[in-house]
Amino acid sequence: MRPFLFFLGFTITLSAQSIAFTFDDGPKMGQTVLLDAAGKNAAILGALREARVASCLFVAGPCLETPQGVALVKEWGNAGHGVANHGAAHGNLNGPHSTLAWFEADFLKQDARIRTLPGYVRWYRFPYLKEGDTREKRDGVRAFLKAQGCRNGHVTIDTSDWFYDQRLQQALARNPKLELGPWRKAYLDHLRNRAQYYDRLAQAAVGRSIPHVMLLHHNLTSALFLADAIRMFREMGWKVIAPAEAYADEVYRMEPDVLPAGESLVWSLAKAKGLQGLRFPGEDAQYEAPLLDALGL
């Protein structure tokens, strides 16, 4: 192993990295440019199958409002992937009207919807990665999830893939014959950049590289470029693992004492440790728009 000088002023050591891919929100019904919900579902599952990668879909309530949506979610479990809770309303817990009682009811409503589906796992991922803006909410939801026997479906590598997807769809609406090569490169550069950043941050916050969990979405960019992303990380020397393997690491049992709670788990651990130079929110369109503008995308 070799030393690496972290930008926050910490000297750390590089070690073997590993990553699990997870997906939020979908399948959203309706036609998008190039692919409908079934097409995106088939493309994402196909990329996972061809690469022999196990994953997990964190399902929000609106995705289960039609028989077609339920059928597409079942395809994940039938393919050996996890199906987990992402909230019935996909609401922001840090919102002024989001109470602890609201959260509990929302969790239970969605849990009842998915618990009979193939692949069901008792994991919960907070929408927008917002875990409470007050001590009462933060500690209350932590206690509630423990009482439910439910794991926090933490993310350590957060991304703005949703923004790249949004911009790509806008560009395709203007030109359906758009050359995808520059978009593929920009997307992969973004994933690599965020993975390397959060791995350095993990080493600074906890002293080692951890088994990472990356947040992606059930969207067009995943459908088009997931196979490329998996290949890229393997070529970088990263081991691609299942989410359950990542979550077995003790780091995922840590509960950072920060408010507002949430973001990437390693972001929160770094903030709790007092590391400087952290931006808030951890990921957002405002950081990516200038990069895509400069590329003419």
CA distances 66 to 26, 73, 197, 255, 271, Å, are 13, 11, 39, 36, 41
Q: How is domain 3-295 classified at the CATH fold level?
A: TIM Barrel (3.20.20)
Over 60: is that where the pLDDT of 171 sits? yes
Please state, as a whole number, how many other Cβ atoms lie within 10 Å of the Cβ of residue 268. 25
- Looking at residue 6, its pLDDT comes to 40
pLDDT for residue 292 is more than 50: yes
Q: What is the pTM of this model?
A: 0.94
Q: State residue 23 phi and psi, 5-degree precision.
A: -130, 140
What's 152's DSSP letter? E
Q: What is the distance between the alpha carbons of residues 23 and 55, in angstroms, rounded to a whole number? A: 8
| Range list of H helices, 157-263 | 161-174, 181-206, 220-235, 243-247
Question: Above 90 in pLDDT, residue 185?
Answer: yes
Tell me: pLDDT of 7 over 80.
no
Q: Which amino acid is at 48?
A: L
Lowest-confidence segment of 3-17, 182-196, 275-289 by average pLDDT = 3-17
DSSP 253: G
What does the alpha-carbon distance between residue 113 and residue 70 come to, in Å, rounded to a whole number?
10
Read off the pLDDT of each residue in 205-215 and give the average, rounded to a whole number.
98
% of the chain with per-residue pLDDT over 70: 95
Tens-digit pLDDT profile for residues 24-64? 997 888 777 899 999 999 999 999 999 999 999 999 999 99
Phi and psi at residue 267, in whole multiples of 5°?
A: -60, -45
Q: List beta partners, residue 246.
A: none
Under a CB-based contact definition with an 8 Å cutoff, are residues 189 and 232 in contact? no
pLDDT at 28: 83
Over the range 210-236, which residues count as b (16 or more CB within 10 Å of their CB) and which as e? bbbbbbbbbbbbbbbbbbebbebbeee
Residue 36 buriedness (CB in 10 A; 0-12 / 13-18 / 19+): middle
**Domain residue limits, the chain:** 3-295
- What are the residues whose beta carbons fall under 8 Å from the beta carbon of 202, sequence distance 6 or more? 156, 208, 209, 210, 212, 251, 266, 269
Q: What is the mean pLDDT of residues 265-277?
A: 97
